[in-house]
């Protein structure tokens, strides 16, 4: 981290054990995103006047190049559980942020639409796309309502994938 870790406690007594635990957790964050600029952890007990149980709130703000990742975890009774959950959430958010920066975000295949034109008892059929092309599909690739419940003329949604004999419809579902 380029800036020192900031730890703020509100409505709870300061504890060296908790501070050490936070420093260890914050140090591990750099394994998931090595370019962290700074980190501020706020530990508070906003409902300290309750009669039963102490409930903790953890807020972690991580400054990164070009942005900030903020996680707020409310109302856990055990401070170590609250810290674990908050740091786990920050770790996942930093991993996602890094993937976005590297351009590794998943891209979903585009969906196509068409009409079932042929069905065969052997467990396959053909779909005519909205563009007029005929596409093969197998019964194993029908998501809903199931191959046996499809009928000629049903409008379907699907994705295209290259198969051994050309393009094939996958994840076929009735619209």
- CA–CA dist 11, 106 (Å, integer): 42
Q: pLDDT tens across 77-97, in order? A: 888 888 999 999 999 888 888
Pair (21, 70) in one structural domain: yes
Residue 15 region by backbone torsions, left for phi larger than 0, else alpha for psi between -120 and 50, else beta? beta
pTM for the structure as a whole = 0.57
93: domain range? 6-102
CATH of the domain at 124: 2.40.50.140
Mean pLDDT of 136-165: 88
Q: What is the DSSP letter of 111?
A: P
1 domain-assigned? no
Domain boundary among 102, 120, 152: 102
Q: Per residue in 9-57, pLDDT tens?
A: 988 888 899 999 999 999 998 887 888 999 999 998 876 555 556 788 8
CA distances from 125 to 25, 118, 144, 151, 168 (A): 55, 5, 15, 10, 10
Q: How many domains does the chain have?
A: 2
CA distance from start to end of the chain: 51
22 and 72 both lie in a single domain? yes
């Amino acid at each position: 981290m380029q800036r020192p870790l900031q730890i703020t406690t509100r409505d709870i007594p300061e504890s060296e054990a908790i501070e050490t635990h936070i420093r260890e957790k914050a140090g591990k964050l750099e394994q998931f995103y090595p370019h962290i600029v700074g980190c501020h952890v706020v530990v508070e007990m906003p409902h300290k006047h309750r009669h039963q149980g102490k409930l903790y709130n953890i807020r972690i703000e991580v400054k990164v190049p070009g942005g900030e990742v903020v996680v707020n975890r409310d109302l856990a009774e055990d401070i170590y559980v609250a810290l674990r959950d908050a740091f786990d959430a920050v770790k996942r958010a930093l991993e996602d942020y890094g993937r976005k920066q590297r351009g590794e975000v998943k891209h979903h295949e585009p969906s196509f639409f068409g009409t079932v034109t042929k069905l065969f008892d052997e467990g396959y059929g053909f779909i005519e796309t909205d563009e007029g092309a005929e596409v093969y599909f197998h019964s194993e690739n029908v998501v809903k309502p199931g191959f046996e419940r499809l009928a000629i003329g049903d409008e379907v949604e699907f994705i295209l994938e290259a198969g051994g004999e050309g393009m094939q419809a996958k994840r076929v579902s009735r619209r």
